[in-house]
């Protein structure tokens, strides 16, 4: 029989599982706490009888990630990790330090099927979804490796969280549990390229997370050229879903806008964007696009970026330019993993 992913179990699921093994209920909470704390082996569960540890070991496995590469920024201490999963796949995570504490940016899939033209994560398509436990493990590994406590999480690494909906929901429930890592949902952001049916489903949970929409363009013509997902759900459909989401959750929505020179950075784009976002309580994060080796686009110069921001503000839209962390250690999501794979496949690549 295939071993079960016990680290993805909720306390209720653990209770049922232990009940089937004729074990007392109170063990569920104890085991849950251990699993959420980031232990790597059942032998570390010191308050659980040996006999039960052995049964668990027979029937279950503890999902984890292994550090295969680690880059520490000399500028700001940002740490980027390439992690290996049990099946030899690679993902990446980033640990960032802000005044208010530590934030981890986690991956939700190996690769991504959305295929946005500017993004390295989607270049080879989707390999597989991550389990909730593999999402959690990225946080606990960063915590133990640096001896710190993570206070904020952004689901903005590799992958589209709403294309891995059930595992992403499970992750949110586990990571915010007060017997587990207890990271409040208000301290978690979920970023989506605009998977409208996922946004609609997510609204039903009414989580107080921050929903972040990777918009990147003010109209369908430009967005279609950058993001395949726009052909399925265009900007109007996406913004309508955002309005409905906001009606239910009353949460401010974040819009990500990666500025690419000559593509989406004109004054007209800023004005059109401001018109489109009218009526949505929101904040725009301007990101200077990170050049990807496989593409030829460039980011605009800083004057142009600031002008875009001022233009949005003039039109009544709140905007900030995202601070670049770890500028010296590597580029944006998906690129580290690709590099690492290339090195593995061909030692002459770097």
Q: How far is the CB of 334 from ligand SF4 (least distance, A)?
A: 6
Tokens 């918009």 — which residue?
215
Do residues 208 and 185 touch, judged by C-beta distance below 8 A?
yes
| Residue number with the smallest Cβ distance to ligand SF4 | 122
The span from the CA of 224 to the CA of 231, in Å, is: 6
Q: What is the DSSP string of 51-72?
A: HHHHHHHHHEE----EEEEEEE
* Contact pattern for ligand SAH over residues 107 through 146, marking x by CB under 6 A: -----------xx---------------------------
For residues 137 and 158, which CB has a smaller minimum distance to ligand SF4 in the complex?
A: 158
Tokens found for residue 196: 């409208």
Do residues 25 and 31 touch, judged by C-beta distance below 8 A?
no
Q: Is 92 marked active-site?
A: yes
* CA distances to 183, 263, 275, 292, 317 from 115, in Å: 31, 18, 27, 13, 29
The span from the CA of 209 to the CA of 273, in Å, is: 24
122 binds, among ligand SF4, ligand SAH, none (CB under 5 to 8 A by kind): ligand SF4
For residues 36 and 108, which CB has a smaller minimum distance to ligand SAH in the complex?
A: 108
286 binds, among ligand SAH, ligand SF4, none (CB under 5 to 8 A by kind): none
Task: Work out whether 193 is an interface residue with ligand SAH (CB under 6 A).
Answer: yes
Task: Work out whether 114 is an interface residue with ligand SF4 (CB under 6 A).
Answer: yes
Residue 326: φ, ψ to 5° = 65, 35
Name the strand (E) or helix (H) holding 302: helix 302-314
Q: Is 282 marked active-site?
A: no
Task: Work out whether 122 is an interface residue with ligand SF4 (CB under 6 A).
Answer: yes
* Contact pattern for ligand SF4 over residues 127 through 166, marking x by CB under 6 A: -------------------------------xxx------
Catalytic residues: 92, 333
């Amino acid at each position: 029989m295939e071993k079960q992913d016990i680290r993805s179990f909720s306390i209720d699921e653990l209770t049922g599982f232990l009940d089937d093994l004729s074990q007392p209920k109170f063990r569920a909470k104890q085991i849950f706490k251990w699993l959420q704390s980031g232990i790597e082996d059942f032998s570390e569960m010191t308050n659980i009888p040996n006999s039960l540890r052995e049964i668990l070991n027979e029937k279950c496995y503890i999902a984890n990630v292994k550090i295969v590469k680690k880059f520490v920024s000399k500028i700001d201490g940002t740490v980027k990790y390439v992690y290996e999963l049990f099946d030899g796949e690679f993902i990446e995570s980033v640990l960032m330090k802000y005044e208010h504490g530590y934030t981890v940016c986690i991956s939700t899939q190996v690769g991504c099927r959305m295929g946005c033209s500017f993004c390295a994560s989607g270049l080879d398509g989707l390999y597989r979804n991550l389990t909730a436990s593999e999402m959690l493990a990225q946080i606990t590994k960063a915590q133990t490796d640096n001896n710190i406590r993570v206070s904020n999480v952004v689901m903005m690494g590799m992958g589209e969280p709403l294309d891995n909906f059930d595992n992403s929901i499970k992750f949110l429930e586990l990571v915010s549990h007060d017997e587990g890592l207890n990271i409040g949902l208000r301290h978690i952001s979920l970023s989506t390229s605009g998977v409208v049916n996922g946004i609609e489903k997510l609204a039903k949970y009414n989580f107080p997370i921050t929903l972040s929409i990777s918009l990147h363009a003010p109209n369908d013509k430009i967005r279609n050229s950058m993001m395949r997902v726009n052909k399925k759900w265009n900007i109007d459909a996406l913004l309508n879903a955002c309005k409905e989401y906001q009606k239910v959750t009353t949460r401010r929505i974040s819009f990500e806008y990666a500025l690419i020179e000559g593509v989406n950075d004109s004054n007209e784009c800023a004005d059109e964007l401001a018109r489109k976002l009218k009526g949505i309580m929101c904040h725009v994060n301007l990101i200077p696009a990170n050049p990807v080796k496989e593409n030829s686009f460039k980011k605009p110069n800083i004057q142009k970026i600031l002008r875009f921001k001022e233009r949005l503000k003039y039109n009544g839209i709140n905007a900030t330019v995202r601070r670049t962390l770890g500028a010296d250690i590597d580029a944006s999501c998906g690129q580290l993993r690709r590099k690492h794979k290339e090195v593995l496949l061909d030692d002459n690549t770097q």
